[in-house]
């Protein structure tokens, strides 16, 4: 979806794209944007903080009793295996499901290939794709603020779900310099998670930013993030068909008329 009235090809030789991902994850996205002909403006709105490990440890002690181990994000994989390695543990004897190609790629770094990955990269489609879960135990390690829908769907299908908080997302600190850079203008802003939407709006409270945001193209990585933006009356202009960073970049290129 798009609103071409927000931008014309004469507006900028290299459109400025705001990257709201965490600082740890922003560089790769920014590099891809640069290669695609854009000028990235890195404005991290999210940081990640580990939760107490006792709940996860309790599930790791009985991992073999689970039928499915479900990962919905790259961060969940990273925090999960960090603790596994701290305990000198191994993961085996349990089927693994993943949402998204990036999550699957992160699992591959630990020599694990998902047994199931939905065609549509959403938690709801993953839950539905697992089918009849009667009598099955599912371990879902993820963010404390994870959406409840995936748990509800799996339980409706008969699963016993252990929803374990590995980490929480917290709002990053925005420097005056970073806010001034945004106020100077940008052509588009990208959101890659619901929390990035919420946290950006917490940080971008300056009246100077309101007209800039109103004039910019708003691009969300997928429908879940777009739904969150809509809750705050943000008009979402772009959602890629493939809910990945690469899909987001390609959609931006198409919208702005830029070729690799």
Q: In this prediction, what percent of the chain has a pLDDT beyond 70?
A: 95
86: its two tokens: 């701290």
pLDDT of residue 8: 37
Same domain, 211 and 125: no
Residue that terminates a domain, selected from 170, 186, 215: 170
Same domain, 26 and 65: no
Reported confidence tier of residue 119, pLDDT bands at 50, 70, 90: confident
Q: In this prediction, what percent of the chain has a pLDDT beyond 90?
A: 75
Closest CA to 41 of 178, 236, 172: 178
Query: For residue 243, what are the domain limits?
Result: 4-45+172-256
Same domain, 73 and 152: yes
Reported confidence tier of residue 124, pLDDT bands at 50, 70, 90: confident
CATH of the domain at 63: 3.40.50.10090
Same domain, 88 and 161: yes
pLDDT one-digit tens code per residue, 62-71: 999 999 999 9
Residue that terminates a domain, selected from 129, 149, 170: 170
Same domain, 151 and 199: no
3-state secondary structure 169-237: EEECCCCHHHHHHHHCCCCEEEECCHHHHHHHHHHCCCCCHHHHHHHCEEEECCHHHHHHHHHCCCCCC
Same domain, 59 and 157: yes
Q: What domain count does the chain have?
A: 2
Same domain, 144 and 155: yes
Residue that terminates a domain, selected from 128, 147, 170: 170
């Amino acid at each position: 979806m798009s609103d071409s009235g927000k931008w014309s090809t004469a507006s900028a030789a290299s459109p400025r794209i705001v990257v709201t991902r965490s600082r740890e994850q922003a560089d790769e996205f920014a590099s891809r944007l640069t290669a695609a002909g854009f000028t990235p403006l890195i404005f991290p709105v999210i940081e990640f903080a580990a939760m107490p490990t006792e709940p996860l440890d309790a599930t790791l002690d009985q991992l073999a009793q689970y039928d499915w181990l479900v990962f919905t994000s790259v961060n969940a994989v990273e925090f999960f295996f960090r603790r596994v390695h701290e305990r000198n543990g191994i993961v085996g004897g349990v089927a693994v499901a993943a949402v998204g190609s990036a999550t699957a790629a992160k699992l591959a770094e630990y020599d694990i290939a998902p047994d199931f990955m939905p065609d549509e990269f959403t938690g709801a489609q993953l839950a539905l794709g697992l089918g009849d879960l009667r009598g099955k135990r599912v371990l879902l390690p993820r963010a404390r603020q994870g959406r409840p829908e995936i748990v509800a769907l799996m339980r409706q299908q008969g699963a016993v779900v252990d929803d374990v908080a590995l980490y929480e997302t917290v709002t990053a600190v925005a420097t005056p310099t970073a806010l001034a850079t945004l106020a100077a203008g940008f052509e588009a802003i990208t959101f890659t998670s619901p929390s990035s939407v919420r946290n950006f709006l917490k940080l971008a409270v300056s009246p100077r930013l309101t007209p800039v945001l109103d004039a910019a193209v708003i691009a969300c990585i997928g429908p879940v993030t777009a739904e969150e933006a809509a809750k705050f009356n943000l008009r979402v202009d772009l959602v890629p068909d493939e809910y990945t960073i690469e899909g987001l970049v390609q959609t931006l290129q198409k919208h702005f008329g830029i070729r690799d």
